[in-house]
Amino acid sequence: MIDHFGIVCADFAKSQQFYDAVLATMGYTRQMEFGPAIGYGRGGKPDFWIEDGADRQVGAAIHFAFQAAGADEVTAFYDAAAALGAESLHAPRLWPEYHPGYFGAFVRDPDGNNVEAVFHGATA
């Protein structure tokens, strides 16, 4: 159900040190660095993200993604959210900057969280 999620860190350097050490005990390592964020996981897939919160309030809205079974489910998720008046952050599309086949859509939930539906096997 949950594909990945991220948190905002008040002291990014300290958080990197902490998560590098504690997640390594379970075999998780840095899989991707994207802007001011680091994704941890295994096998090339980042499941847990930490983000530099220097310019944001810690405890502010978070990001999480639900795993979809196909691109059609991502689009249905987005359409259902839009029908309820959710703010669109990004319409469904391929995100090759994340990895080939990454198809996602992003909306704000009623509490302001960045909620995503993602499918990892899409083709162009």
pLDDT at 23: 86
Residue 49 dihedral angles phi and psi, to the nearest 5°: -120, 145
pLDDT at 1: 81
Q: 29: closest CA among 48, 13, 15? A: 48
Provide mean pLDDT across the span 59-77: 88
Where exactly does CATH 3.10.180.10 map onto the chain?
2-52, 63-119
Provide mean pLDDT across the span 6-14: 87
Domain spanning 63-119, CATH architecture: Roll (3.10)
pLDDT at 91: 98
Domain 2-52 listed as CATH 3.10.180.10: yes
Q: Per the confidence metrics, is the pTM higher than 0.75? A: no
